[in-house]
Amino acid sequence: MASTSTLYRKRLKEERPEDYARYLERQRVQSKKRLEEEKRRLQEETLTTAQINMIEERKKKKRECARAYYLKKKAALGRQTRNSKKAGVPTSSKLEKRPRDMTEEELRAYKARERKRQRDSRSSQKKTAGSTFVLFCCCF
């Protein structure tokens, strides 16, 4: 269930749009003032490690929210093409090893995954084009 303030804002938006616009403007001004005050305070004071960690966590959360918003908008607006089928899904995780740091078995499995991923992204005609061409050339 939505909070009472959320319900109030929805009702205000529907019933009195001009009051809602004033409310949004007031919120925007207060938010800007709060942000400037926090920036000023952070520049003047010497920060403890706990405060620095808190700031970093806040920045990380902001980046994650922005990325989620970007992916949501991209998925909603983008047209579905062969190459954008997995647009909302991250292609790789940053926790994966780089190929030059892998053992032989890991590298072999990694290359197989990459070949499969590249093959899956091709159209059905291109998937069969190479094998048909080889068969055609061998017959003559």
Task: Provide the CB-side half-sphere exposure for 43 (13 A, CA).
Answer: 6
User: How far apart are alpha carbons 94 and 51 in whole angstroms?
Assistant: 26
Q: Do 41 and 54 fall within a single domain?
A: no
Residue 68: domain span: 48-77
Q: Do 40 and 52 fall within a single domain?
A: no
| Residue 91 counted as domain residue | no
CA angle 31, 32, 34 (to 5 degrees): 65
| Residue 89 counted as domain residue | no
Q: Do 12 and 36 fall within a single domain?
A: yes
| Residue 84 counted as domain residue | no
| Residue 19 counted as domain residue | yes
How does pLDDT run along the chain (140 residues), one tens digit per residue?
789 999 999 999 999 999 999 999 999 999 999 999 988 988 888 888 998 899 899 999 999 999 999 988 888 876 666 666 565 566 555 667 788 888 899 999 999 999 988 888 887 777 777 655 555 555 55
| Residue 10 counted as domain residue | yes
User: How far apart are alpha carbons 11 and 136 in whole angstroms?
Assistant: 69
Output the pTM of the full model: 0.41
Q: Do 40 and 56 fall within a single domain?
A: no
Number of domains, the chain? 3
CA angle 7, 13, 18 (to 5 degrees): 140
Q: Identify the three-state secondary structure at position 84.
A: coil
| Residue 70 counted as domain residue | yes
Q: What pLDDT, on the 0 to 100 scale, is given for residue 138? A: 54
| Residue 93 counted as domain residue | no
